Structures are given as C-alpha cells and as structure tokens.
Structure 1
C-alpha cells in the first residue's frame, strides 16, 4: 500500500495546452538562442530559471544572470498570456482518481518545476486547494527546495509536509524524463504518464516501475489498492 502520491502538475495532472513548452521555447529563442526540440524536452520539468540558463548555453548564448532573469520574466509574461487565452484544465479522470486515492487514505501532493507564484495561479484557476477536506495535502514548488528535478528534494519535502517517512510507500508520477529520474533518485515508485509530450516508448527507455496512459490509472495499481 502507498501512503503518498507525488504528482507533477503541467502535463501530468493539468492540461495546460502546451503553454509551458511554447512559452519556454519563445522566451529562450528571443535571447538569440535556437532551441532544439530534444533539448527543450530534456529540460522540461526542471526549475525554469535553470532550464532557461541551460538552453541558452546549448544555443551558444552567454547565460549571464541579467539576461537569464530577463528571459524568465518574459517566460512568465508569455505564460500568463497563454493561460488567459486557453485556461488550464484538469486532465480527464484526474480529479476522480485523486478523490478515490484520498478515500483510501492516500495523501496527495503536487510537485512542480514552477515557483510559488506560477503554481498558485494554476491551482487557483482550477479551484484546487490544500488542507483538511480539500483535494490536496501539499504542493511543493521550486521556491521551497534547494534544487528542482532530477534532484529528489521536491518528493522528499512532500513527504515532510504530509508526515510520510517511508519512501518505499511513495509513488511519484510525471510526464517527463526528469520526473522519472527524480522519482528514482528519491527511492519512490517511479511512474511515467503519456499525457505529456513523450510517448510510452520514449518514457520506457528510462528507469521506471510503470508507464501508464494517465494519472487516472493509478488507483488501479496493486500498490494503490487497500
């Protein structure tokens, strides 16, 4: 039995219509750095300032602090614009799956490569809240940890916040390679989901315990049953 599920946000539990990909690519390309699709996918799921720095360097543009922060502010502005045009929604079946897990006594945490301000705006748009009687037990962002994925800190801090002390009873799921890497680094059950940009075959090339069509299938896993 698992005590905690730690789930990525955009592309895993939330359909943001690809806005993060588009905003990140455009913000970096406006610095003069070309962005290869493979590089963009590799850095998705990580802290966004770190992602911008890495993508600029890969595009042979000096990642100076002021330039990176300007690009990050541009990323935030673009993301706000895209979310206003196409508001994020919960992926099909996700809310019901989380409610089922809650009914079984499993704690629910969201983890993300966003900072507090972006994550909180996303949750507000969905009406998802943290607390007793609410859908979520915790939300962990890059504002709260020393390093984002693939470091295990987002997951471990979710354990702290929810009072879970056995990592073997934690399931961590996401739609990117760094989600799987973070889950493995944390010692959790590592689950990839196909609701993001990667196919099952692409996810299965990396260490994992399961690859599912979506988070909606988690309650069907043996580990998630009472």
Structure 2
C-alpha cells in the first residue's frame, strides 16, 4: 500500500489560471530576449531561478547572478499581481482527494518550484496548511533543496519530513515533464502525469511514467497499489 502521495502545486493541485506561465515569460522577456513557447514549457515546473537562467541563455542573452535575481524579483511581482487580479483556486475534486488519501492513512505532501515567499501566501489563500487540523502533512519549496526538478531532492525531502522510508511506497503526480522525471529519478513506486496543466496526453507518451490521469482527483483510485516499476 502507498504511504505517501507527493503532488506538484500549480497546474496539478491548484488552478492559478496560467499565471506562472505568463509571469515567467514576461520576466524573461524583460531582460531583452524572446521566449519560444516550447522552451518555456520545458522549464515549467523547475526552480524559477534556474528557469530564468536557462531561458535567458537559450534566448541568446548574457546571464549574471544579478540578472537572475532581477528576473526572479520581476517574476514574483508579476505573479503576485496576477494572483491579486484572479485568485488561484483548488482544482476540481482535489481537496476531496487529499482528504480521502489522508483518511486512508496515506500522507500528503506538496512540492513546488516556488520559493517560500511565493508558496506560503499562495497556500494560505486557499486555507491549506501543515498545521494541526490542516489538510497537508508536508510542503517542500525550492528553498529547501540544492536543485529543483528534475532532481529527486524535493521528493526525498518530503519523505524525510513525513517519516516515509520506502520510496517504492511513494506516489508522485505532476502536470509537467520535469514532474514525471523527478518522480522517476526519486525511484517512486507510482509516477503519475496529470492533464490539468498545459500539456496534452501525447506530451507524456515517451516519458517514464506509471499512469496518465485526467486529474489528481482520480488518484485515490490507486491508493491500494504498490506497482514499483510498472509501465
């Protein structure tokens, strides 16, 4: 049986109306380079400073630590303004799914390419927390690890926080390519791609996933599984 479900935030459990995608694009373009949609999608789900660094380089710009920090500050400002204009909400069925998993004794953690200062207010606006009586067992942000996705570190940190030892009893789910790769790199027993983000089913076709689901709302159906290495 599964012991831990680890979910991405934006696009997987939270509908933020494409704000991250738009904010990242605008922040990078403010440095004077253009951003191709395919490149932008490739870097969705990663640590946002790493994404800005990579996208500026791809666009032919010169990267400095100062430029990355300026770009990240712009990203954060743009994102917060978009959130004020149109507040994020839980994706349909997600809150019920989280509650059902925890009722079955499966711990729930969220991981994100956001920093603490972005993730904290976002979760608070939804009423989600790890406090007593909250609906989460752990949250891991990009501030807590040396490398973001597709590195496995956020998933392993979630295991550490929740006391789960056997990685084959971990399920991961996310809406981007790097979410799936992080799950596989972590050795998770079940790796799910979900279709609530920007990617169509075909985008997951050649990735090392266990299943592709329409939504995290469907995950409780897999709660009794332990199919390490399944395809």
* TM-score over 0.5 for the pair: yes
Match of 1:218 in 2: 219
Give the drift of 1:222. 5.5
Aligned residues: 225
**Equivalence for 2:229:** none
**Distance in structure 1 (CA, Å) of the matches to 2:223 and 2:70:** 47
* Corresponding residue number in structure 2 for 1:143: 143
- In the alignment, which residue of structure 1 is the partner of 2:78? 78
Displacement of 1:132 in angstroms is 3.5
1:146/1:211 CA distance change after superposition, 3 Å = same
Deviation at 1:125, TM superposition (A): 0.6
Q: Deviations over 1:86-126 (max 9, x none)?
A: 00000000000000001000000000000111110110110
Tell me whether 1:45 sits opposite 2:64 in the alignment.
no
Q: Partners in 1 of 2:224 and 2:160 — Cα distance?
A: 21
* Inter-partner Cα distance in structure 1 for 2:131 and 2:13: 18
Kept after mapping to 1: 8 A contact 2:101/2:223: no
Q: Output the CA distance in 2 between the equivalents of 1:58 and 1:170.
A: 35
In the alignment, is residue 207 of structure 1 matched against residue 224 of structure 2? Answer: no
**Aligned residue number for residue 58 of structure 1:** 58
Q: Deviations over 1:23-54 (max 9, x none)?
A: 00001011111101110000000000000000
1:224 CA drift (Å): 5.3
Say whether the 8 Å CA contact 2:2–2:223 is kept in structure 1.
Answer: no
Contact 1:204 1:211 in 2 (8 A): no
For structure 1, list consecutive stretches of 5 or more residues without a partner in the other structure: none
Residues 134, 53 of structure 1: CA spacing in aligned structure 2 closer, same or farther, 3 A cutoff?
Answer: same
Tell me which moved more, 128-137 or 204-213.
128-137
Q: Secondary structure at the residue paired with 2:143?
A: coil
Q: Name the residue aligned to 2:88.
A: 88
Matching residue of 2:128: 128
The Cα RMSD (Å) is 1.1
State the Cα distance separating 1:147 from its structure 2 match: 0.8
1:131 and 1:157 map into 2 onto residues whose CA distance is: 18
Contact 1:7 1:111 in 2 (8 A): yes
Matched residue, 1:184: 184
Structure 2 Cα separation of the partners of residues 125 and 194 of structure 1: 24
Q: Partner of 2:196 in structure 1?
A: 195
SS of 1:136 mapped into structure 2: coil
